[in-house]
């Protein structure tokens, strides 16, 4: 029996669903029931009858799945897979910032801990952060945005709002240099440049389109262009090539890799299901408060 066959047998035995983020290893994406962004995957899992969620991603993603499906068992195959940006702000630090700005509403990026979400008024994704400021927090004079300063800068520019910005960042996106993008543009002059909004402003200025990972995937499917330069973690290119066999995708050089996203392997997925280890637990009071912030975002997104 191959390791993939073992995983499929265990998945059926446990009544489990396997989720893989767009940045995961190709072989991990290939065994997943759903591949996508962190919030979208959690929403998909919540709608299934699965009793166990295996989240191939990082810790805050598995926490979000637990917040939206508290009755389900959530497993994180690699218990040390964290998000450096999410770790750049704690609940205590956010409380201090709120005391300094008592009239401000808190908009937290989904790339945060459950504790930070629970202290927030509203959550957002990279896809809807602009909408959350324009609609979800319309009329608010002060908005605290945590933790990504580059996404916050992009939102401020798009909305013409002044935000109270926490100085966090994604190390993977922050290390991208303009010359890497310009080099690929010279090599592939017909290619469209797709940039993630977690990138610094000088990188975003080189984009033909700024989009979240899901936004990128939708765009390349509908675009008439056949070539794309992908300015985000290169793991997403596996999915793009699979879904768009007639199109060409170029990563930056040197490649943009998130080390913690690559820590999940097939053997760790198998072991998590075999021994039901690395279960994610979130206190009920944190779940209730964090869920309100996420629900508020979803209601704004639907226009409720």
Q: What was the pLDDT predicted at 303?
A: 45
Q: What 3-state DSSP class applies to 304?
A: coil
pTM for the predicted model, two decimal places: 0.95
95 preceded by a cis bond (ω within 30 of 0): no
Compute the distance between CA of residue 93 and CA of residue 104 in angstroms, rounded to an integer: 15
Beta bridge partners of 209: 194
Q: What was the pLDDT predicted at 61?
A: 97
Give tens-digit pLDDT for 93-102.
Answer: 999 999 999 9
**Structural contact between residues 235 and 22, judged by C-beta atoms closer than 8 angstroms:** yes
Is the domain of 132 the same as that of 181?
Answer: no
At a CB cut-off of 8 Å and minimum separation 6, what does 189 contact?
none
Q: Where residue 77 sits, what CATH number does that domain have?
A: 3.40.50.10800
DSSP 87: G
Is the domain of 228 the same as that of 270?
Answer: no
For residue 21, what are its two tokens?
A: 């983020």
Is the domain of 291 the same as that of 165?
Answer: yes
Is the domain of 105 the same as that of 236?
Answer: no
Residues in the chain: 304
Is the domain of 116 the same as that of 159?
Answer: yes
Q: What was the pLDDT predicted at 211?
A: 97
Domain interval for residue 156: 86-169+286-302
Give tens-digit pLDDT for 159-209.
Answer: 999 999 999 999 999 999 999 999 999 999 999 999 999 999 999 999 999
Longest dimension (CA), the chain: 60
Is the domain of 142 the same as that of 91?
Answer: yes
Give tens-digit pLDDT for 245-254.
Answer: 999 999 999 9
Is the domain of 161 the same as that of 94?
Answer: yes
Is the domain of 147 the same as that of 296?
Answer: yes
Q: What was the pLDDT predicted at 298?
A: 93
Is the domain of 109 the same as that of 55?
Answer: no
Is the domain of 67 the same as that of 93?
Answer: no
At a CB cut-off of 8 Å and minimum separation 6, what does 42 contact?
19, 61, 64, 65, 67, 68, 69
Looking at the structure of the chain, the number of domains it has is 3
Is the domain of 54 the same as that of 114?
Answer: no
Is the domain of 77 the same as that of 142?
Answer: no
**Structural contact between residues 176 and 183, judged by C-beta atoms closer than 8 angstroms:** no
pLDDT means over runs of 10, the chain (304 residues): 97 98 98 96 94 98 97 97 98 98 98 98 97 96 98 98 98 98 98 98 98 97 97 98 97 97 98 98 98 94 50
């Amino acid at each position: 029996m191959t390791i993939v066959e073992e995983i499929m047998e265990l998945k059926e035995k446990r009544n489990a669903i396997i989720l893989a983020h767009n940045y995961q290893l190709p072989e991990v994406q290939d065994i997943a029931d759903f591949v996508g962004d962190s919030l979208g995957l959690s929403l998909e899992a919540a709608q299934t009858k699965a009793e166990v969620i295996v989240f191939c991603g990082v810790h805050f993603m598995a926490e979000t799945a637990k917040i939206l499906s508290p009755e389900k068992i959530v497993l994180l195959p690699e218990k040390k897979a964290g998000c450096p940006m999410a770790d750049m702000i704690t609940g205590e630090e956010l409380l201090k910032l709120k005391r300094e700005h008592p009239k401000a509403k808190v908009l937290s990026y989904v790339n945060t801990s459950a504790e930070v979400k629970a202290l927030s008024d509203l959550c957002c994704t990279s896809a809807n952060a602009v909408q959350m400021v324009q609609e979800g927090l319309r009329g608010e004079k002060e908005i605290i945005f945590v933790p990504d300063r580059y996404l916050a800068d992009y939102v401020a520019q798009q909305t013409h709002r002044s935000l109270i910005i926490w100085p966090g960042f994604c190390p993977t996106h922050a290390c991208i240099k303009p010359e890497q993008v310009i080099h690929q543009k010279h090599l592939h002059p017909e290619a469209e440049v797709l940039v993630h909004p977690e990138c610094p402003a000088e990188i975003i200025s080189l984009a033909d389109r700024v989009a979240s990972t899901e936004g990128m995937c939708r765009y390349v499917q509908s675009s008439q262009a056949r070539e794309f330069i992908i300015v985000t973690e290169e793991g997403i290119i596996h999915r793009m090539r699979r879904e768009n066999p007639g199109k060409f995708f170029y990563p930056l050089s040197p490649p943009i890799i998130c080390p913690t996203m690559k820590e999940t392997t097939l053997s760790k997925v198998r072991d998590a299901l075999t021994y039901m280890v690395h279960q994610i637990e979130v206190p009920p009071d944190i779940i209730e408060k964090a869920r309100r912030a996420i629900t508020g975002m979803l209601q704004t997104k639907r226009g409720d």
